[in-house]
Every structure is written in structure tokens, then in C-alpha cells.
């Protein structure tokens, strides 16, 4: 059995999956903040309960925000303060008597999608999250690419390409990002970026859901905004795909529910790709909030 933990600042969720990658059991508990010892023992107790329930010692994978294993072997996760700066992977492996694998939560999202029954045929899968920020992961032959610093897939912190200035206008403000740089694409392509660009052009503060509702009701401003946004997404995605050359792009996050873009993106992408490049398949994420657990569990599917 494959055990997958999705650990965040408020909760830790455990999903248990069988050899067919089907969910058999799950449990959620609040993420402890009072002590590192309590953090470890809470995870250990959930694993012990699963072992007892299924009569075996399942493999354990953990998805967590931040850098799961830094150079000195410790976790960096700002919103999990009880464990940040601690050797979580080594301590849990010793405590549980089995290898514990850890990865960034965005990589686990991408890994979960890559192991979907329908998507397994694709060797290179790009997971793209359009949510509060912009992130994701790259999966090659069923395994996540973490990179030197676990920042592979931090697509939101690439800068606007020159084509984006043709879409948005050369006078578009290059807003400061939380990472300290200016002009990162997540300030324009995330859910809040979607709303910010609308307000920039039309001086009206609306959230993304209100804008989409107006678009579907035939509002001229919302239609023009969506046309601009999808073109911007196409030119930014084109730059990423020139480097990654994925067979499949799976989109998650709040904006993934804006289904109209799945028809429009393949039509707009070719002009931003190399002439010989084929447009990849582009699909909405299949597993939603369960993706973190699934992907963490599937860290043990490959060596």
C-alpha cells in the first residue's frame, strides 16, 4: 500500500492507495504547531493506524510546501513552523523504520496527474497551477524533477516575455512580486493577477469569479479582458514549453475551472512556439484537492 501525506499550515491529510492507485482510506488532522515532537508523533500515529488497518507496513510519501530537504538535510517550510529547520525526512524514516520520501506540494500535484490512468502514456507532463500564485511541476517518465533547490516548476517567478508587452501594452506596470523581483508572470496570470489586469484596464475592482460571470453573460469588457488574458497565457506558456517541450499540460488551481481557455489555448499557442513544435495536449486537472495526497503516495512508484 502507498501512503501519501499532504501537509500544510492548517491540516495534514493522509491517503492510502492500493497497487492500482485507488484510494482505500483517508484521514485528516490539524497540523501541530506547538512542538516538533508533536508534529512527528502525529504523523507516526497516522501511519501506525494505517498499518494496523491494512495489516502491513505501507510506503510513506510526504508533500509539503517549501524545500523538503535543503543542503543540511532540513526542511524549509515557512507555514509549518514546528518542523521548519528540522531533519524531517531523516527523523521520520528512523521513527517509522522505512524510507520516507518527500517532495514539494506542487510537484506532488503534477505527479498525481501524471499517474492518472488517462495520462500515463505521456512521458513529459507539465503541471501548471493557476491559483493564488502560479506554480507547478515537471514529471518525466513518472518521476518529478526537483532540481538543485526544489524550485523546478516555480513558473510564476519567470519574467514576462517580450511578447507579453505586446499583449498588455509597453506601459504595463511591472509590479513587485513577493520574491522581490518585478514583472514575474504570477502577478498577471494568477487568480489575483487576472483580477488586477482587469482593474488596470477598466478601473473596476472585481474578483475573478465576477469577471468570468460577466464574460459568460456577454459583457464587452469581460470578453475583451478574457481575450487579452488567454493571449497572455499563451505567450507565457509558449516560452515555458520551448524549454520543457511537454507532451501534456495539466492545469490546476482556481482558474482551471475556466473551461473556455482549453478551446482557445491550442489555437493561440503555435505562434509562440518553434515552427517544428507540436502543441501539447492541454487538460484540466483530474484530481483537485486530492492531488497532494495522491502525488505524495506515488513518490514510491519509481526508483
pLDDT of residue 149 exceeding 90, the answer is no
Question: Are β-strands 134-140 and 100-104 bridged in parallel, bridged antiparallel, or unpaired?
Answer: unpaired
What's residue 196's pLDDT? 97
Strands (DSSP E) found in the chain: 2-7, 11-17, 23-30, 59-64, 100-104, 124-130, 134-140, 143-144, 248-252, 281-284
Do 249 and 269 form a contact (C-beta atoms < 8 A)? no
Do 275 and 262 form a contact (C-beta atoms < 8 A)? no
The CA distance from 173 to 97, in Å, is 53
Q: How many CB atoms lie within 10 A of CB 157?
A: 17
- 41 burial class (0-12, 13-18, 19+ CB within 10 angstroms)? middle
Helix (H) or strand (E) holding 230: helix 220-244
Per the annotation, binding residues for Zn(2+) are 157, 177, 179, 184
Domains and CATH numbers, the chain: 2-110+290-299 (3.30.420.40), 118-285 (3.30.420.40)
Mean pLDDT of 196-220: 96
pLDDT in tens, 37-66: 999 999 999 999 999 999 999 999 999 998
3-state SS class at 174: coil
pLDDT in tens, 254-302: 999 999 999 999 999 999 999 999 999 999 999 988 899 999 999 999 8
Per the annotation, binding residues for ATP are 4-11, 133-140
Residue from 179, 169, 70, 68 nearest 134 by CA: 179
Per the annotation, binding residues are 4-11, 133-140, 157, 177, 179, 184
Amino acid at each position: 500500500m502507498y501512503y501519501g501525506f499532504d501537509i500544510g499550515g492548517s491540516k495534514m491529510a493522509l491517503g492510502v492507495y492500493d497497487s492500482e492507485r485507488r484510494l482505500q482510506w483517508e484521514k485528516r488532522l490539524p497540523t501541530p504547531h506547538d512542538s516538533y515532537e508533536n508534529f512527528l508523533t502525529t504523523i507516526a500515529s497516522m501511519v501506525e493506524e494505517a498499518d494496523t488497518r491494512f495489516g502491513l507496513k505501507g510506503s510513506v510519501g510526504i508533500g509539503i510546501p517549501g524545500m523538503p530537504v535543503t543542503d543540511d538535510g532540513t526542511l524549509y517550510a515557512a507555514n509549518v513552523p514546528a518542523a521548519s529547520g528540522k531533519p524531517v525526512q531523516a527523523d521520520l524514516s528512523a521513527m517509522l523504520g522505512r524510507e520516507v520520501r518527500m517532495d514539494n506540494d506542487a510537484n506532488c500535484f503534477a505527479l498525481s496527474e501524471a499517474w492518472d490512468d488517462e495520462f500515463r502514456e505521456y512521458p513529459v507532463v507539465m503541471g501548471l497551477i493557476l491559483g493564488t500564485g502560479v506554480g507547478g511541476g515537471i514529471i518525466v517518465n513518472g518521476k518529478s524533477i526537483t532540481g538543485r533547490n526544489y524550485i523546478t516548476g516555480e513558473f510564476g517567478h519567470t519574467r514576462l516575455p517580450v511578447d507579453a508587452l505586446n499583449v498588455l501594452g509597453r506601459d504595463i506596470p511591472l509590479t513587485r512580486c513577493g520574491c522581490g523581483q518585478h514583472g514575474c508572470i504570477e502577478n498577471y496570470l494568477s487568480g489575483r493577477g487576472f483580477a488586477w489586469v482587469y482593474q488596470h484596464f477598466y478601473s473596476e475592482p472585481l474578483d475573478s469569479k465576477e469577471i468570468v460571470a460577466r464574460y459568460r453573460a456577454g459583457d464587452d469588457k469581460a470578453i475583451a479582458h478574457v481575450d487579452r488574458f488567454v493571449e497572455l497565457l499563451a505567450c507565457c506558456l509558449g516560452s515555458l514549453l520551448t524549454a520543457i517541450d511537454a507532451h501534456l499540460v495539466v492545469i490546476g488551481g482556481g482558474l482551471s475551472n475556466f473551461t473556455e481557455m482549453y478551446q482557445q489555448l491550442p489555437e493561440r499557442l503555435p505562434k509562440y512556439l518553434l515552427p517544428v513544435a507540436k502543441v501539447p495536449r492541454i487538460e484540466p486537472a483530474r484530481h483537485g484537492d486530492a492531488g497532494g495526497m495522491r502525488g505524495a503516495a506515488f513518490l514510491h512508484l519509481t526508483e
